[in-house]
């Protein structure tokens, strides 16, 4: 995982340099810090909960598996890349259509930009929710080791598909794989792009199940929301959708209604919020200006957070449970501090920053 994080950061640096050289407005300071905060928090929480999630999969396998498979089979490894993406497709589609799963994915779609940085912007509760879509593989008899390898491949290719500077068609690859062009469509909030292109690696799942959309040059993709919750505070970003569901559940009169809202659609939730008069606790702000000193301080906090995360990932196998929990809390606290400074850099010295570049 440390090598994967290093590869992500190298690709981000290349993308920033390329965009700057060619004058492409791909990266924004505040958004990038926010993405990295959320990605760091998710990685730390994943490390803390990995043993429980993998343990649950192994228990399902040991208790119920129907077939025996060789975990070292190269054929199985190749097949699992396709099968794991099949499972991901349905998990991802549910994460746009079922409130319980939307709450664990919406953080990713709070971004108004599309780049390698926004790929890292992930919900802190997404891993256990997506686990539910891979759990049937344990019952079939898929060993955990090759499945984890397939999921790492899926993760890396999804990171590439968030490239913000590759915008042209990639020939025949567009018919087989998810590319930056086809995944940009997925992040669109305007028709006909909303809730399209859910696959992680193979775009043919979308073509097969009727959720595919081509990018129309005459109808540019609008990335992300322009209003709604505050996405820069990582705690608020993660909790906002859960607050909305709980608000509606609290106001519905019947037990069935209180439970069913978790499994209904975002459109139903939005209508119910309007009916019951929901008011967002923290709305998307107009960002302040940042002085050079403010940017340096924010980057320093972010750097300390990422350094703590790297130490954690390098040493997690030898750490006691309490030490893991403490380091996870340290990463989350650092992410929260950097997020609050993005919103209010005057916290650094009591004065408003003067200029934003």
pLDDT at 356 exceeding the cut of 50: no
Place 332 in a pLDDT band, splitting at 50, 70 and 90: very high
The closest of 79, 234, 95, 212 to 147, measured between CA atoms, is 79
Neighbour tally for 159: CB within 10 Å:
17
Distance CA 122, CA 110 (A): 10
- Stated pTM of the model: 0.93
Omega before residue 192 within 30° of 0, cis: yes
**Interval 278-326: pLDDT, tens:** 999 889 999 998 999 999 999 999 999 999 999 999 999 999 999 999 9
**Scanning the structure block, which residue is given the tokens 């090759």?**
146
Residue 241 · residue 103 · CB < 8 Å: yes
Distance CA 48, CA 324 (A): 6
Neighbour tally for 329: CB within 10 Å:
12
Q: Both tokens of residue 39?
A: 């990605």
Burial classification of residue 160, based on how many CB atoms lie within 10 Å of its CB (0-12 exposed, 13-18 middle, 19 or more buried): middle
Mean of all residue pLDDT scores within the chain: 94
> What φ, ψ does residue 96 adopt, rounded to 5°?
-115, -15
The conformation of residue 242, written as its DSSP 8-state character, comes to H
**Interval 222-254: pLDDT, tens:** 998 878 899 999 999 999 999 999 999 999 999
Q: How far is CA 279 from the centre of its chain?
A: 25
Distance CA 189, CA 108 (A): 13
Q: What residues pair up with 177 in beta bridges, in sequence order?
A: 202
Place 25 in a pLDDT band, splitting at 50, 70 and 90: confident
**Interval 73-119: pLDDT, tens:** 999 999 999 999 999 999 999 999 999 999 999 999 999 999 999 99
Q: Both tokens of residue 19?
A: 């965009």
The whole-number average pLDDT for the span 258-282 is 96
């Amino acid at each position: 995982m440390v090598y994967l994080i290093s590869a992500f950061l190298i690709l981000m640096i290349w993308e920033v340099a390329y965009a700057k050289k060619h004058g492409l407005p791909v990266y924004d300071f505040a958004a990038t810090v926010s993405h990295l905060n959320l990605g760091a928090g998710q990685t730390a929480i994943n490390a803390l909960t990995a043993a429980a999630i993998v343990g649950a999969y192994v228990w399902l396998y040991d208790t119920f598996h129907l077939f025996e498979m060789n975990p070292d089979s190269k054929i199985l490894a190749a097949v699992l890349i396709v099968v794991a993406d099949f499972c991901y497709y349905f998990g991802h589609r549910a994460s746009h259509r079922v409130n319980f799963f939307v709450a664990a994915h919406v953080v990713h779609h709070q971004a108004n930009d599309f780049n390698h940085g926004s790929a890292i912007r992930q919900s802190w509760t997404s891993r256990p929710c997506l686990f539910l879509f891979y759990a049937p593989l344990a019952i079939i008899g898929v060993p955990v080791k090759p499945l984890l390898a397939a999921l790492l491949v899926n993760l890396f290719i999804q990171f590439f598909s968030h490239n913000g500077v590759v915008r042209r068609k990639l020939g025949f690859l567009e018919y087989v794989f998810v590319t930056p062009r086809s995944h940009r469509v997925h992040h669109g909030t305007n028709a006909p792009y909303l809730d399209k292109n859910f696959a992680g690696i193979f775009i043919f799942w979308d073509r097969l199940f009727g959720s595919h959309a081509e990018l129309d040059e005459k109808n540019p993709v609008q990335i992300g929301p322009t209003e709604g919750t505050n996405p820069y505070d990582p705690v608020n970003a993660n909790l906002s959708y859960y607050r909305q569901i709980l608000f509606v559940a609290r106001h519905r009169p019947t037990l069935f209604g209180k439970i069913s809202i978790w499994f209904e659609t975002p459109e139903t939730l939005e209508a119910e919020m309007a009916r019951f008069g929901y008011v967002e606790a923290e709305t998307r702000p107009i960002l302040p200006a940042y002085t050079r000193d403010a940017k340096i301080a924010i980057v320093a906090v972010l750097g300390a957070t990422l350094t703590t995360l790297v130490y954690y990932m390098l040493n997690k196998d030898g750490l006691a449970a309490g030490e893991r929990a403490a380091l996870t809390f340290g990463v989350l606290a650092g992410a929260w501090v950097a997020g609050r400074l993005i919103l209010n850099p005057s916290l650094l010295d009591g004065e408003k920053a003067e200029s934003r570049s």
